[in-house]
């Protein structure tokens, strides 16, 4: 019989999946790690929709933690001489720098594909 415990006076709110307190829940960390790894291919694309006509280069699927991903973004932006940001695990670099980004990532050992048009 499974318990549907959602609150405990000892630990407060409980995770329904792992039945641990929300602060110590392991479900979210494992699902984030699984979603970051993906299929192991880094996809580099170009997008301009919803950006006032400005083109940005998007890098998706990099299997790194947050700090390492931010450091990689910094290196890519510096190499491209452009600004950008890290948003929801996607690196955004201002301008169309797909070829340069693909070459830099391939040199660092990533499996890279150009995505989109």
Enter the pTM of the model: 0.67
Residue 1 confidence (pLDDT): 45
Residues 6 or more apart in contact with residue 96 via CB below 8 angstroms: 46, 55, 57
Distance in Å from the first CA to the final CA of the chain: 53
Residue pLDDT tens, the chain, 117 long: 455 655 556 666 777 777 777 777 777 655 555 555 567 789 999 998 888 889 999 999 888 888 888 999 999 999 999 999 988 889 999 999 999 999 999 998 889 999 886
The token pair that represents 39 in the structure block: 């299929």
CATH 3.20.20.330 corresponds to the domain 38-114? no
Query: Where along the chain do its domains lie?
Result: 1-35, 38-114
């Amino acid at each position: 019989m499974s318990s549907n415990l959602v609150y405990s006076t000892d630990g407060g709110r409980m995770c329904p999946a792992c039945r641990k307190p929300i602060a110590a829940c392991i479900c979210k960390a494992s699902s984030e790690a699984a979603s970051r790894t993906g299929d192991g291919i880094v996809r580099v694309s170009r997008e301009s929709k919803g950006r006032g006509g400005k083109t940005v280069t998007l890098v998706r699927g990099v299997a790194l933690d947050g700090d390492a991903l931010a450091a990689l973004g910094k290196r890519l932006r510096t190499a491209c001489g452009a600004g950008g940001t890290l948003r929801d695990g996607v690196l955004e670099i201002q301008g169309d720098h797909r070829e340069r980004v693909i070459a830099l990532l391939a040199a660092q050992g990533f499996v890279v594909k150009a995505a989109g048009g």
